[in-house]
A and B are shown apart, each in its own frame.
Chain A
Amino acid sequence: MLWDYFKAKEILDKYGIRSIDSRYIESAEDAVRFSKNRPIVLKLISEKELHKSKAGLVKLELSDEKAIKAAYEELVSKGKSLKPYRIIAQAMASGGGVEAIIGGREDPQFGKLILIGLGGIYVEAFKDFALRVCPISEYDAGEMLEQLVSRSVITYKGKSRKMLVKLLMDVSKLLVENPQIKELDLNPVILREKSYDIVDIRVLE
């Protein structure tokens, strides 16, 4: 069962894993109020669609009222076949950055696994990821990054390595301490040299 987005966000907060400012909205006006003149993103969340971007359920860079309203109407119309669904408004992640995926799952043989890889919509195309059994040590987290073909891109030539190692260890801790979580996707996590934004969260129980 898919967790409610904000229940998932809350548990991440508890482990010091920051995700981007978000809110459910019930109308286009709601979304306009949330935006406060900064560019926002609207997303439709439904258990029936895992690949939101490909299905056109993510509307990026909505910077004025007109664009927000149009995007909202479009999502509502697409949502007819995806009920039940919710629409979420999010602050737009600041520019630049590399999209990564950090995830976890419960393996029937070995227990909790943690994953990091090149993320976003290319996840399944490149299949560049590293996997370990939880809990991971600091060394393991470093080795995971080392294993990636895209390591120099993801770590900004090693500059964001420390931040990522900590993030991985926090996620590992979350996975171990919450046995009810069967699957976790943080995808994409937008990585920059000194900060990251978790833009989408999926937790399955």
Chain B
Amino acid sequence: MKELKYILKPKSVVIVGASRIPGKVGHIILQNYINDGYSGKIYLVNRNEEEILGMRSYSRVTDIKADGIDLAVIAVPAEAVPGVLEDCGKAEVKSAVVVSGGFAEIGKQELQDEIVRIAKKYKIAMIGPNCLGVMDPRSRVNTLFLPSYKLAKPEIGGISFVAQSGAVGSTVLDLMAGEGFGISKFISYGNAADIDEVDILEYLMEDEETKVIAMYIEGIKRGKDFIELGKRITKKKPVIILKAGRTEAGATAAHSHTAALAGSYEAHEAVFRQFGFTIANDISELLYYSKIFASEAAPAGSRIGIITNGGGAGVLTTDAIASSRHMLLGELSEKSKSELKKVMPPLVNIANPLDLAGDADDRRYRDALTSMASDQGIDMIIVIILFQTPGADSRLAAEVVAMKEKTSKPMVVLSIGSEYTEMHKMMMERSGLPVYDSPRAVALSLEALYSYYKYKARFG
């Protein structure tokens, strides 16, 4: 296994191509290290400078008097990368993130092969080239050359996000931060010349800080190894995959119906399905599923209970559940019914969905949630809160968060609305309660959750 620990948890970093000129990649990376408060040792290398932002700059990596730097972040023109890597090797640098582009992606395969050869010679674990690199909010490592004011900063959490493409990677990272979920690692690995998706997944499988893995990939380099890994990784933690290339032309002149139907994308999808990966069809689904898996609750079955303060929203959600593949609307037990009859006002019809009416407040929700949480006929709970109604306020949001702490059943909130709703959505999500803004998103997410745990349950 390739040593990603030196990349994600380095005790010392050298930034090669560090720059004093704002806007330059080598400047942004350095600035991010300083701003994020990285606590390890930082060395700078720039052939033409002696000092950058008040720090000493060396002209070559080999000039630095240190025994073995953990990570080199390399942001120099492509043709200079082999020389820099050679220096890194001599200086016993353990790993490298090659941010520079200008390799296989523009047809320069030979130059790429050369840096792989050097990395292998010196046993340098290398990410890239042509990538954004990594971010680990715990170790405060951030090799992303994106100005920090342009990218919302995610909190520390359990989701590790892996993206072959830097552009999709940073977009999703920005969205994740905006949604209020916490990140464990972000890894953008570009051309995958040395470290590829299989190496990264191997590492994240064992990484205790990572609870959920979300991935955007364009291709898989080692299909058979991926399958072997697939057999193990999804038994440990959920892996969500968004694969590009659905519309790629299949075999142009297929000689069989099978080949015409089952092209490369379909083959990937088949592997993901067979080995328990969760397939996301677009960026929205990737975010939906990341969120529900991050809440770390496993359903015992597929029976859904719905609590709502709006009749229409309850019906729409029931429809979404009914059109899903596996989920069913649960039946309330006699015990729940009699409990609820005692505490609910007469206008509340005791059924599932349980419509608490437009004047429902935190107390009415608490009673409803308490019953559903202990009802043997309900495996997962959808709490619809329309914050436009008079009784729905911050106390209600807090009550629902408190219930989530008390029950082991998966619980999600559906809230549709603008500013006031958004504010409460953030409150709840920061407390680990997934909030969605459409019945479809809720249904897809619960289905994904159920399917994953059903897969996992087969192996005990």
Contacts and interface: CB of A to CB of B under 8 A. Distances in A.
Interface string B40-82: 0000000000000000000000000000000000000000000
Nearest to B261: A129
B257 interface: yes
CB-CB nearest 7 A-B residue pairs: A103-B258, A109-B223, A131-B270, A183-B256, A110-B223, A185-B256, A107-B267
B458 interface: yes
Interface in A80-118: 101, 103-105, 107-111, 113, 115, 117
B420 to A, nearest CB: 42
A192 interface: no
Contacts of B458: 139
B269 interface: yes
A152 to B, nearest CB: 13
B227 interface: yes
A103 B223 contact: no
Given A110-B267, A113-B267, A183 B224 contact: no
9 contacts: A103-B257, A103-B261, A105-B262, A110-B223, A113-B270, A115-B262, A131-B267, A202-B256, A204-B255
A187 interface: yes
B223 A113 contact: no
Given A103-B256, A107-B267, A129-B262, 6 more contacts: A50-B254, A109-B267, A110-B267, A117-B261, A119-B257, A123-B261
B259 interface: yes
Nearest to A128: B261
Contact of B257 (A109, A110, A123, A140): A123
A196 to B, nearest CB: 17
B259 A110 contact: no
A101 B257 contact: yes
Interface string A29-60: 00000000000000000010010000000000
A107 B333 CA distance: 51
Q: Which of A2, A108, A123, A183 has most B Cβ within 10 Å? A: A183
A187 B223 contact: no
B270 A183 contact: no
Contacts of B258: 101, 103-105, 113, 115, 183-185
B256 A107 contact: no
Nearest to A123: B257
Contacts of B261: 103, 115, 117, 123-124, 127, 129
B271 A110 contact: yes
A132 interface: yes
A124 B257 CA distance: 8
A8 B273 CA distance: 30
Contacts of A130: 270
Contacts of B271: 110, 133
A113 B226 CA distance: 15
Interface string B226-244: 1100000000000000000
Nearest to B230: A133
Interface in A151-205: 183-185, 187, 202, 204
Contacts of B270: 110, 113, 130-133
Given A105-B262, A117-B261, A131 B269 contact: yes
Interface residues of B, number: 24
A185 B257 contact: yes
A25 B261 CA distance: 32
Interface of A: 2, 47, 50, 101, 103-105, 107-111, 113, 115, 117, 119, 123-124, 127, 129-133, 139-140, 143, 147, 183-185, 187, 202, 204
Contacts of B227: 110, 133
B274 interface: yes
Contacts of B255: 2, 47, 50, 183, 202, 204
Contacts of A127: 261
Contacts of B266: 131
Contacts of A115: 258, 261-262
Interface string B251-282: 00011111111101011111101100000000
A61 B230 CA distance: 49
Nearest to B222: A109
A50 B257 contact: yes
Nearest to B274: A132
B274 A183 contact: no
A49 to B, nearest CB: 11
Nearest to A131: B270
A34 B266 CA distance: 42
Given A109-B264, A131-B269, A140 B274 contact: yes
Contacts of B269: 131
Given A110-B224, A110-B227, A117-B261, A50 B267 contact: no
A192 to B, nearest CB: 21
Contacts of B223: 107-111
A107 B265 CA distance: 11
Contacts of A119: 257
B228 to A, nearest CB: 11
Contacts of B316: none
B343 interface: no
A113 B256 contact: no
A184 B267 contact: no
Given A123-B261, A129-B261, A184 B274 contact: no
A189 B256 CA distance: 15
Contacts of A113: 258, 262, 267, 270
Contacts of B267: 107, 109-110, 113, 131, 133
A113 B258 CA distance: 9
